[in-house]
Structures are given as C-alpha cells and as structure tokens.
Structure 1
C-alpha cells in the first residue's frame, strides 16, 4: 500500500481526495492546506503546512493541487524526498522555470487525466507524427469561477493554461519537435471579469512545417466540448472527442467519467518497476506546451468589447 499526501484541498483537490479514497493500492494519509475550501475525507487528517506534512507522513506519492504560483515549488520539494509526484496543470506559467530541468523533475508528472481516455495509450505508444493539429474548446465559465487567484493572469494564466491545455499538451506530443516559427493569435475580452478572457483563437507555425490551430472559448451556451483533430503523415485523420477529451478514440456511450480517468492516472504512476506508461506526461515535456502558450499570448492582439483589435 503506497502512502499518499494530497497538497491542496480546493475545487480540484476535492476531486482528487474523492478519487484517492477509492484507488486500489493507495492510502490517503493526510491533506495539507492552510485554508481548505472542501473538507478532507472522513478520518483523513488536515495539516496546515505541506513542508511539515512531508516530514511527518513520509508519503510515497504526493498529489499537488494548488495554483501555479506554489505548485512547482511544492512538487519539487516533494520529489526531493523520493516521492513520486503528480502535479495539477499547468504547474507553472513560466516556461523558463522548466529550463534546465531539475534533477528531481524526473519524479514529477503532470495531471492530465483526459489523456487516459480510450485509445490514447495505444495512440501515444505508436508515436505517430502529426503535421497538423486542431484544438477546440467550448464551455461556459461564469463569474463565480473567476474568483481569488483566477482573477489575474499572473496567478492563473489564461484559457490556454487553465482550460485548453489538455488538448494542447496532447497535440504537441504528436507534432514533430522543433521551435515556433510564428503565431497569429487573437484574445477577446467581452465580460471584463478581472484579466480573464472569453475567447482565444490562434494559429501556430513551427519550423518543422507543422501547424497547430486553437479555438477556445469559455462564454458559450453550446454543449460543452474539448476535442483534438490530428492529421497524421500518410493522410489519416484522427478525432479525440468529448466534453474534455474523455471519449478519446472510443465510443461516446462507453466513455469513462472523471473519477475513472483519475483512477487510471493513479494506477499508471511508476513504482520504479517496469516501463513508463505512455499516457503519463513527464514534467520536462510540459516546457514545450508552455512555450507555445506563452508565444501565442505574447503575439496576440486583444479585442475588448466594442473596440477594434489593437
């Protein structure tokens, strides 16, 4: 039985707490959060500081579900103890934080549970090359979502960090390696809730010749969806579908729910035996995703309500 410490018990941390109490082979020994939004599961102690919790409980696995400003610091500290660490995306907003990679980073993985959707383990194990990829996100986030740390870009990032990153990270694992050549992006802020945006569109060109397009909006009344279309070498086209990619390459009626995907993600965490699961996302691979997101935002033109692009 592997001992698990959960750092952070907000909206996302509560989902991890629920799933961890149902995970075979894992024992949630404590939750660390000075100001928890949700109560820890019954019988699980709450500790104010994660530094003390790491020493007191000596966990084998640490799940970090805190905002980007503190997530990477906590994850690296946990990894230095020898624990395997799963950190919620985006972990950090700054690509330079991951360059060069720290030694402890090899024990840290990024929490992308939709990557465990049906068919994606097979797809990633085949390592096909996509020359074009399209990421589309449609959902609605209302004012209540943009509170506290989510109100500012510096503490939360934007739609591409918080919402569309699941699809972006998947697409970029399959596009050929290489730096960004150019990008054209547009950010629309209509509702004016803090620094959050309502819609981002972008076309990113890579020096390899690959093309990534993104359309992500969080002000839509359409049915929620987040999907990735991949155009592979040889002309094959694949569609990863779902409210949040969870259908994968499978059938809609058999798509797993969020808890099932989290449980699959926990099962994939390595214990120093056997090959790495193809769906696990190493922290070092996150750097490219953050670089693409950063490039798109830095070159974007902003369109406020009732104004022309500037």
Structure 2
C-alpha cells in the first residue's frame, strides 16, 4: 500500500480527495492546505504546511492541486523526496519555468481525460496528425472568477485553465516543430476577471501542421470539449465528450470523473523503472503546450466588446 499525500483542498483538490479514498493500492495519509475550501475525508489529517507534511508523512505518491506557480514549486519539492507526483494543470503559465530539472522525471501532469476510452491505444500507436481542431464550450459564472482565478498572472486564460486538456492531447500527436505563425482573437465581454470569455486561434507550425482552437466559457449551449485529429493517410478521429471523457468511444459509455482519476492513479509508476503508461503526461512534455499557448496570447488581437454583461 503506497502512502499518498494531497497538497491543496480547494475545488479540484476535493475531487482528488474523494477519488484517492477509493483508489486501490493508495492510502491517503494527509491533506495539506493552510486555508482549505473543502473538508478532508473523515479520518484524514489536515496539515497547514505541505513542507512539514512531506517530512512527517514521507509519502510515496503526492497529488498537487494548488494554483499555477505554487503548484510547480510544491511538485518539485515532493519529487525531490523520491515521491512520484501528479500535479494539476497547468502547473505554471510560464514555459520558462519548465527548464529541465532532475526531479521532473518523477512528475506527471494530471490530465485525467487523457485516460478516456481508446486514448491509451491511440497514444501507444503514436500516429502523426497534420491538422487538429480543439473546441470548448462551457459556461463559467461570476463565482468561478474569484481569488487566484481573477488574474491572468496567477491563473492564465481559457487556454491554460480550460482548453489545455484538448490542446495537450493534440500537441502530443502533431509532429515536433516550432510555431511559424498564429492568428488569435481574444473576446472579453463580461469583465469578471482578467481572463477572457472566448479565444479563437489558428496556429501554424514549421512542419506544416495546423492547430485551430475555438474555446468559450460564456455560452449557454450544451457543454463540450472535444478534439478532431486529421492523421497522415487521411483518417479522421474524433475525441469526444463534455471534457474529452468519451474519448474514442460513444458518449453514452463515458466514464465519470472519479473513474478517470482512478485510472490515472493506477497508471502512476511505483519507481523510476519500467515502461510508462501511454496516457501519462510527463511534466517535460508540458513545456511545448505552454509555449504554443504563450505564442497565441502574445500575438492575440483583442476584439472590442459586443455587449455589456448583465
């Protein structure tokens, strides 16, 4: 039985706390958070300082669910103790923070939708996509943009916080290469925070690959977050779901959030040896995703307001 520590008990941390109590082979020994939003599971100690929790409980596995910036610091500190670490996306919004470090080989990014049906097979085949389209439609209310999420410097934008699941998946299958150009429009209408309400982007790479994005969080339309992949040879694959969770399977059989998290925990290696699960997303691979997002925002054009928020 591996000892697990959860760092962060906010909205996302509470979901991890619930899933970790149902994870086979993992024993949630403590939750570390100086100001928890949620109550830890019954019988699980709450510790205010994650540094002291790492020393006191000596966990084998650590899940980090804190805001960007602090998440990367905590994840690397945990990895230096020898623990294997899952850190919630995006970990940081600055790609320069991901200069390689020795401890990074024990850190993985928590993209539970990548464990959706069929994606392990797809990623194990390593096909090459020449075009990819990522679409996100959801609605975030005013309460979502509170605390650290109200500022771009601490939360990033839609592409960091919302569309990154699909972007990271698409970029794993697009051929390696630098961004050649990007055309991005940022729509800010409701003005509930420094983040935007919609981003549309077309990103071209030196390899000839093209990635398009249409991500909005101000819509009353049915929620969706999917990706369409156009592979070499003409095959077209659709990764579906409210948050990719249907994968390549039918939406009616999509696993729920807890099931995806449990699959992600099961995939964590016990040490530094052996083959990695194809759906695990190493921290080192996150840098390209953040570089693409950073390029899109740096070259973005802000579209004037079309209406005033109620």
Aligned pairs for 1:276-291 within 5 A: 276-291=276-291
TM-score, normalization: structure 2? 0.98
2:241: which partner in 1? 242
- Residues 1:28 and 2:57 are matched in the alignment: no
Q: Deviations over 1:259-293 (max 9, x none)?
A: 00000000000012531000000000000000000
Residue 44 (structure 2) aligns with: 44
Q: How many correspondences in the alignment? A: 306
Match of 1:210 in 2: 209
1:162 aligns with 2:144: no
Structure 1 unaligned residues grouped into runs of 5+: none
Residue of structure 1 in register with 2:195 after alignment = 196
Task: Return the alpha-carbon distance in structure 2 between the equivalents of residues 268 and 254 of structure 1.
Answer: 21
- Pairwise CA distance, 1:304: 3.2
SS in 1 for 2:69: helix
| 2:72 equivalent in structure 1 | 72
Aligned pairs (5 A) from 1:1-310? 1-99=1-99, 101-272=100-271, 273-306=273-306
Partner of 1:41: helix, strand, or coil?
A: coil
In structure 2, how many angstroms separate the alpha carbons of the residues matched to 1:290 and 1:275? 25
Q: How far is the alpha carbon of 1:305 from its aligned partner? A: 1.1
1:306 is displaced (CA, Å) by 4.0
**Superposition RMSD in Å:** 0.8
Residue 63 of structure 1 aligns to a residue whose secondary structure is strand
Deviations 1:45-71 (A, max 9, x none): 000000000000000000000000200
